Amino acid sequence: MTVTLTRNRVFISFTPFLELKTLILFLFLFIFSSIVTQPIYAAPENSTLENITSTTDENQYLTSKKHNITIGILSQTPRDSIKNTPWQFSFDRLNTQSKYHFTPLFLNSEELADALMNDELDFVICDAINYLMLEKQYGLLSLLTRTEQYSDHYVTSEGLSVHTLSTNPDITRLQDLKDKNIGVIDDKSSVSWLFLEKFLFNHGLIAGTNIKISPIHDINEAFSLLQSNTYDVIISKSGILAKHLSQDEINALRLINPRRGWQAPFLHSSVLIPEWPLSKAWFIDNKLASQVVSLLLNQHNNESNNSHSYFSPQYYWDIAQNYNALNELFFFSNNIEDATDVEQSSISQKIQYWVSFIIICFLVIILILYLRSSRDLNNKLTLSKESLEQEIKERQHAQEQALTHQAELAHVARLSTMGEMASGLAHELNQPLSAIHTYVQGCIRRINMGNTDLDAIVNALKLTAQQADRAGGIIRRLRSFVRKGESHKTYSEINQIVHEVTGFLETQLKNKQVELKLELEEELPPVLVDIIQIEQVLINLLKNGIESMSNIDKPVIIVSTRRSSHKMIKLCVIDSGHGISEDKLKRIFNPFFTTKTSGMGMGLSISSSIIEAHDGKLYAENNTEQGARFCLTLPITEEQLGNNKNE
C-alpha cells in the first residue's frame, strides 16, 4: 500500500505488497475457520454401545455376575496377585465391606479391549488415555479418579518427568533424547504408556526408531542405572523419583523441560493429564455403581491413619475428573505439549485462545504494515523535501547568475552606447569649454587694456564658473552612466527618468532632426526601479526609434507615460518610422536578432529581461498609421498603493 499526501487529500494506492497482506489475512482466516469448524468428535464407526445393547440380554449379565464382580486393571506387566499394588487396599475395602466378591484381572490394553468386547469386565481401572478410547468403543463410564496425597495436596493428575544426571551436558532439551537410551520406571505406580508414547512422539521421538526404551521394574535401580550409563535418561511418573530417592541423589539429577502444572506440588516435564479413572461397564446398573463409589470415596476418611509404604502408595479415590477435557486435548491437538494442563482445558478456552491469538497476529501485522508505510512515506517526504531544497538552491543560484550576467550585459551595452555617442558628447562638451575659453580670453583682454572694471571681470568669471559646472555635469552624467553597477532599486519618478534620458540624447535628436514630443501624465506614483537600468532601456528604445526613421520626412518620436491600471504604470516610445514586419515582430526580442549592418541584436533582448526583472513587461506593436511603438509596464508597489489610499 502506498500513501500519497497532497495538499488536502490522502491517496491510498495498492501495490503488490497488498497481495501479500491479503494472503496472510486469508491464511489466518483459513486456519481460524478450520479450527472452529473441526468436528468436535466423531464417534468411531464401530461404536458398539447401541449394538451391544441390542444384541445382548441385559438381565442375563446382571444375574450371572451378581456375586462375583470382575475389575479389569491395566498392567503392562502380567500379575497374579493384587498384593503390593496400589489397588490392594481398594480391593480389601470392597471385599470386606460389600456382599459382592471383587476379583482383579490384570490385563494389557489389548486384553482389556478384548475382555470388554466380550462383556467380561464389570469395572475397569486404566489410565486416562486408554479409558478415553475404551469409553468410546465399549461405553465405559468413569466413576472415580485415583488421587494421591502429597502432604496437604491431593493430586488427581499425573505427568511424566524426564531426569538425567546433572553432570550430563548432552541433554538439555527433550529433543536431545534422540538416539539415546531411555529407561522408564514401570513399577507398580503404573505409567501410562500411551501417554508416554504421545509425549515422546510430540518431540520427534519414536521408540524403536530413534530412541530405545526399556522398562525399569525396580525403582531402586534407577539411579545406579543412570550412573552406570546404562540409560541416558530416566522417565517416571512425576513425583515418584522425588519421593523415593535420597536428597543427594535428587541433587545429582536434572529435570529436563521443567514445568509446573495445576495443583501439582512437583515439577514435571510433560503436560498433566487426569489420574486413572475407575469406570463401570455399560451394563452395570447405577445401584451397584453407587455402592462401589460410596465404599471407595469413604475409604480416605476411614483409613487416613494407615501408613503405606512406597510399594503401596497412599492412593485414594476421588470424584471423577473431567476426562472429556482430555478427550478434546488428545483428539484435537497433535501436540499435547502445546496445551495447558488438562484440567483447565476446554473447547471454549481453546477457541478463545485461538481467536485472541489470531486477533493479536492480525493487529501485529496491521501495526507492522502501518509502521512500514508511514516509514516509507516519511522517507519519501524527506527525499522530496531534500530535492525541493536542492532545486530552490539551484534556482536561486541561477537567478543570481542571470542578474549578474544581465548587469554585465547592461554595462557592456552602455559602453557601446557611449562609444556610439562619443562624437555627440564631444560636441556637447565643446560648448561649455568654448564658452569658458571666450570668457577667460575676454577677461585677459580687458586687464591688458587697463580696463579695471572689477564688476565686469567678476561677472565674466562667474559665467566662466557656470560653464565649468555645466561641463562637469556632463562628465558626471557620463561617469554615472558608464559605472559598473549592481542592481540597486530605489523609488523613482518615471517622468524624471524620461527627462534625464531625453536630455542625454538631445544632441543625437538634433543631429537627426527628430522632433521629440513628451506626453507625460502628472503625479504618477514613484516606481521601485534601478534607475540606470531603466534609463538604459529607454535609451535603447529611443535609439532604435531614431534609427527606424533615418530616411523619413519630419521624423517625430513621442514618449508617453500614464497609469495604465490600478497597479501599473505604462511608458511608450512611439516612432513614425517604417514599422516592423509580422515575421520580424516575433523575433526582435531574441538575442542577436538584428536587421542593421552594424547592429548587435542585443538591445531589445537586454531591455526585455531588465523589465521582466522589475516584474513588468516589454512589448512591441505597429502603429495603425505609421511606425512602431514599444511599450513597457512597471508595477506600483503595495507600499505606494497604501500611501495613495491614505492620501
Question: In 3D, which of 70, 83, 140, 72 has the Cα closest to residue 106?
Answer: 72
129 and 269 in contact (C-beta within 8 Å)?
A: no
Please give the Cα distance from 35 to 354 (Å, whole number): 8
The minimum distance between CB 624 and ligand ADP, in angstroms, equals 15
Nearest-approach distance from CB 515 to ligand ADP, in angstroms: 16
CB of 551 to ligand ADP, least distance (A): 13
- Least distance between ligand ADP and beta carbon 582 (Å): 12
**Residue with Cβ nearer ligand ADP (134 or 602):** 602
Q: How far is the CB of 430 from ligand ADP (least distance, A)?
A: 27
Closer by beta carbon to ligand ADP, 327 or else 540: 540
- Of 313 and 545, which CB lies nearer to ligand ADP in the complex structure? 545
> Which residue lies nearer to ligand ADP by CB, 149 or 622?
622
C-beta nearest to ligand ADP: residue: 603
CB 545, min distance to ligand ADP, A: 5
d(CA 415, CA 409): 10
Kindly state the cell numbers that stand for 384: 522530496
Rounded to whole angstroms, the Cα distance separating 120 from 407 reads: 120
Distance of CA 526 to the CA centre of its chain: 58
Written as nine digits, the cell of 268 is 514435571
To ligand ADP, the closest distance from the beta carbon of 548 in angstroms equals 3
Q: What's the closest the beta carbon of residue 590 comes to ligand ADP, in angstroms?
A: 9
In degrees and rounded to multiples of 5, residue 542 shows phi and psi of: -65, -45
Residue 587 Cβ vs ligand ADP, minimum distance, rounded to whole Å = 8
What whole-number distance in Å separates Cα of residue 633 and Cα of residue 618?
Answer: 7
Helix (H, G, I), strand (E, B) or coil at 134: helix
The three grid cell numbers given for residue 65, joined into one nine-digit string: 455376575
Q: 258 vs 599, which CB is nearer to ligand ADP? A: 599
| CB 527, min distance to ligand ADP, A | 23
Nearer to ligand ADP, 570 or 629 (CB): 629
In this complex, which beta carbon is closest to ligand ADP, that of residue 483 or of residue 586?
A: 586
Phi, psi torsion values for 169, nearest 5 degrees: -85, -15
Indicate the residue among 345 and 540 with the shorter CB distance to ligand ADP.
540
Q: Which is nearer to ligand ADP, 129 or 604 (CB)?
A: 604
Contacts of 434 (CB under 8 A, 6+ apart): none
Q: In sequence order, which residues have a C-beta less than 8 Å from that of residue 1 and are 6 or more positions away?
A: 12, 13, 14, 15, 17, 18, 21, 369, 373
Chain contacts with ligand ADP (rule: CB under 6 A): 540, 544-545, 548, 575, 577, 580, 588, 593-596, 599-605, 628
What contacts 24+ positions apart, CB below 8 Å, involve 346-354? 347/40, 350/35, 351/35, 351/36, 354/32, 354/35, 354/36
CA 209 to chain CA centroid, nearest Å: 48
Establish how many alpha carbons lie within 13 A of residue 635's alpha carbon, considering only the half-sphere containing its beta carbon.
9
- How far is 222 from 245, CA to CA, in rounded Å? 9
Give strand pairing partners of 568. Answer: 565, 635
Count Cβ atoms below 10 Å from residue 574 Cβ, excluding itself. Answer: 20
Measured CA to CA, the distance from residue 132 to residue 336 in angstroms comes to: 15
Q: Identify the CA nearest to 309 among candidates 225, 406, 187.
A: 187
| Min CB(601)–ligand ADP separation in Å | 5
Rounded to an integer, what is the distance from CA 207 to the centroid of its chain? 49
Contacts of 388 (CB under 8 A, 6+ apart): none
Looking at the Cβ atoms of 124 and 602, the one nearer to ligand ADP is 602
73 vs 505, which CB is nearer to ligand ADP?
A: 505
